[in-house]
Amino acid sequence: MKMIPFFSDEITITPHSASASIANLIGKRITLAEFAQAVKAERMALYELENGDLYVAVKANPTYGYQPVFIEGPEVRINAPLAA
């Protein structure tokens, strides 16, 4: 797992894994900004996994008992060229 120290909150992910409390996000495109807002994040960390997926962990608000919550999945490249 490689930490990405600087990133845009416009990065979009389609999670295939998530904390149980936010499992409703699995399979839905979500930007890091939307994710942070949804869980009322105080801090966010982004990592790239060996398979290329992204792992996002946040320190959440009291709703989640200040337990970290996460999503994991591939980045959705909105402006990526179409495959030939």
pLDDT tens-digit readout, 58-77? 876 666 666 778 999 999 98
Residue 83 counted as domain residue = no
Residue 84 counted as domain residue = no
What's the predicted TM-score (pTM) here? 0.81
Lowest mean pLDDT among 2-6, 36-40, 48-52, 58-62: 58-62
Is 81's pLDDT higher than 60?
no
Share of the chain above pLDDT 90, in %: 52
Total domains, the chain: 1
Residue 82 counted as domain residue = no
For residue 50, the enclosing domain spans 2-76
* Sign of CA pseudo-dihedral 75, 39, 67, 46: positive
Mean of per-residue pLDDT scores for the chain: 86
Is 78's pLDDT higher than 80?
no
Strands 54-59 and 12-13: unpaired
Strands 54-59 and 2-4: unpaired
Residue 23 counted as domain residue = yes
